[in-house]
Chains A and B, each alone.
Chain A
Amino acid sequence: MNRLARHRLLWPVLILVLLLATNVAFTDGFLSVQMKDGHLYGSLIDIIRFGAPLILVAIGMTLVIATGGIDLSVGSMVAISGALACLRISELDDQNAVGGVLAAIGLALALSLVLGVWNGFLVAGIGIQPIIATLILMVAGRGLAQLVTDGQIITVNSVPYKLVGGGYWLTVPFCILIVLVVLALTAFLTRRLALGLLIESVGGNAEASRLAGIRSRGLIIVVYAFCGLCAGIAGLMISSNVSSADGNNAGLWIELDAILAVVIGGTSLAGGRFSLGGTVLGALIIQTLTTTIYSIGVPPETTLLFKALVVTLVCLLQSPTFREKVFHRRGRGAPPASTGADTKVRVTV
């Protein structure tokens, strides 16, 4: 029981269950999943479907944050990748040609990868603070996306492209399948191979891990490139779902939601450890929160207020100082104040 209470995913799971329970109380048949025309339908499926781009971006963000970095440019990369894919598809003679669509998708993903490598190069190669390095692409990227679309909203009418974000395959929404594949692949690479350990060691102390023989620079570039790729796929999903690309608004503020998802999932912003499961939970919490707000009839404008509340709560709960101050005073048998990891000098002011 004690081990369960201390599990780091306890709080996120409780919040998600609470949100789902609220939904069940307000909406009839919230939990039911039906088959219609060979497709799966239901509120739960919708939550995962609409949350798919966020989950993808958050997975990439998790690895970046695990190295002690952060990527603010994912929103811009979402916009650029969607814009480029839609532009190429709209230029095709036959928008339903699978080959042409695949080429457009490949090009968009390649560009996202290049942008990710650029971020990684700025961080690892030149040594710029991650917040600032990715701020460059965050600002310039929106401009680039509008440059690609020429300031217009490009609409496409392509059946194969629609499959990416809005289609079904084997009765399951295709975007959920993409998320599952990326998640499985990432989990395998980071948890079954040594890669995850190396990433965490770079996040713990880049210099120490370099001295231990880990090529931290290369690793950081790979991580940012992966984050770019995830953002690129998310951009394809978003633009495919609405069959259009909007350089200005696609993926707006998704970077904040993604960071939020990662933090809710228990990954420390200081780097050094990460939890993919927690991130997915975090992204689901955010999407469920949005759905809940719509379903219980609270004006959707207040979503941001709830998010502020959730971020503050989660951050406070995760802050060791806060726990020490609040729970210690209540005399709830708090753990010893100084753990091995906490080597900071604390002077009472």
Chain B
Amino acid sequence: MISLGVLSPNRPIPRKYLPVLVTGGLFLAMFVAGGIRYEGFASGQVVLNVFIDNAFLLVVAVGMTFVILTGGIDLSVGAVVALATMISASLVTDGGWPPTLVIPLVLAVGAVLGLAMGCVIHYFDIQPFIVTLAGMFLARGLCYTIGTDSISITDSTYTGLAQARIDLPGGAFVSPSVLVAVVVILAGAYVLHYTRLGRNVYATGGNEQSALLMGLPVARTKIAVYTISGFCSALGGVLLSFYMLSGYGLHAVGMELDAIAAVVIGGTLLTGGYGYLLGTVLGVLVLGLIQTIISFEGTLSSWWTKIFIGLLLFAFILLQRLGAARRT
């Protein structure tokens, strides 16, 4: 009876799920509209392709969600992604290191970078915006000191993973990267909702002063989210190096904006303390579907993507504002 009660009209869906539902509704509407307008659009594989093409963005956006939930922001993610591809490519191709050694190393580098930024943000009380900006300069600068040109990866493990397909029932398929992304999303959702760290993240974002006075480990939480974001960016970089099969200092330029946009479109409040990982996933899917629709349309140029994303951002932020105004 309880499960039925949730669905009955007398018990409306809790307000807190509304932003996620709006994003989900938008995704569905876009998918249906695309299916009506274009031949061959309304298939499961189109959605799966969005996953395949945006697996790295999904992983990066998960880390960004953690940071934004605490009320911070991480501008360094795109640069860390690029650094991860660059380190992987240079060690695997030029250094001849085995991938089993390179990938953990790259992930550790990302996590350490995030940890360092988190420490500076917390212990010296400097705005996340400016600290992660410095981190962005640092990571991009490190890319260029490794090399200014694109380094291609020919290692058999990487090419194998790039070409591998995992068949799903019904003739559909995904890439191994999608599996990694799904695992990261599930792990992230578990941490956010079923662990102490997750509760602390929401509490810190809701009101840092109150969290401190309640005796919650705000320092550890804030440092942890930037470490998670650094780790996720590095993992995103590893996935991107599978996808691109190259390392380049100019990879993932502007990815921090895509990640922030996905989080915002997913209904997470930028002031922190409110939002769901599912929303972020839907946000990434909406961004991916915009690109798919523009490529199906054929006549629209690629820059329309940016304009549409800007318009969507505007619409969703406006919705957030209206929601916030009603709540107070």
Contacts and interface: CB of A to CB of B under 8 A. Distances in A.
A133 B317 contact: yes
A325 interface: yes
Given A127-B321, A349-B217, A307 B127 contact: no
Contact of A143 (B131, B135, B144, B304): B304
A142 B258 CA distance: 14
Task: Report which residue of B140, B304, B305 has the largest number of chain A beta carbons within 10 angstroms of its beta carbon.
Answer: B140
Range of interface residues on chain A? 35 or more
B144 A315 contact: no
A259 B307 CA distance: 24
Interface stretch (B39-47, B117-125, B178-186, B275-283): B117-125
A345 interface: yes
B77 to A, nearest CB: 14
B134 A312 contact: yes
B138 A305 contact: yes
A308 to B, nearest CB: 4
Given A140-B309, A302-B141, A132 B218 contact: no
Contact of B257 (A127, A135, A345): A135
Given A304-B140, A322-B124, A139 B129 contact: no
Contact of B137 (A247, A270, A307): A307
A215 to B, nearest CB: 21
Contacts of A143: 303-307, 310
Contacts of B130: 259, 263, 269, 311, 315
A112 to B, nearest CB: 17
B212 interface: yes
Nearest to A318: B126
A337 interface: no
B314 interface: yes
Contact of A321 (B124, B218, B305): B124
Task: Report which residue of A308, A321, A322, A345 has the largest number of chain B beta carbons within 10 angstroms of its beta carbon.
Answer: A308
Contacts of A140: 306-307, 309-311, 313-314
Interface residues of B, number: 50
B301 interface: yes
B144 A302 contact: yes
A349 B310 CA distance: 40
Interface in B134-155: 134-138, 140-142, 144-145, 148
B92 interface: no
A137 B311 CA distance: 9
A302 B145 contact: yes
A129 interface: yes
Contact of B133 (A142, A144, A311, A347): A311
A43 interface: no
Contacts of B317: 128, 132-133, 136
B219 to A, nearest CB: 4
Contacts of B304: 143, 147
Contacts of A138: 257
A55 to B, nearest CB: 20
A171 interface: no
A277 interface: no
Contact of B134 (A270, A308, A321): A308
A301 B138 contact: no
A218 interface: no
Contacts of B144: 299, 301-302, 304
Task: Report which residue of B73, B138, B218 has the largest number of chain A beta carbons within 10 angstroms of its beta carbon.
Answer: B138
Nearest to A150: B301
B134 A311 contact: yes
Contact of B141 (A308, A325, A347): A308
Contact of B212 (A303, A311, A347): A347
A126 interface: yes
Interface string A77-95: 0000000000000000000
Interface of A: 70, 126-129, 131-133, 135-144, 146-147, 150-151, 247, 256, 259-260, 263, 269-270, 299, 301-308, 311-312, 315-316, 319-322, 325, 345, 347, 349
Given A131-B129, A143-B306, A315-B126, 17 more contacts: A126-B318, A129-B270, A132-B317, A136-B313, A140-B306, A151-B302, A151-B303, A299-B144, A301-B141, A301-B144, A305-B137, A305-B145, A311-B137, A312-B134, A315-B124, A319-B124, A349-B217
Enumerate the 4 nearest inter-chain pairs by beta-carbon distance, A residue then B residue, closest first: A140-B310, A143-B306, A301-B144, A304-B141
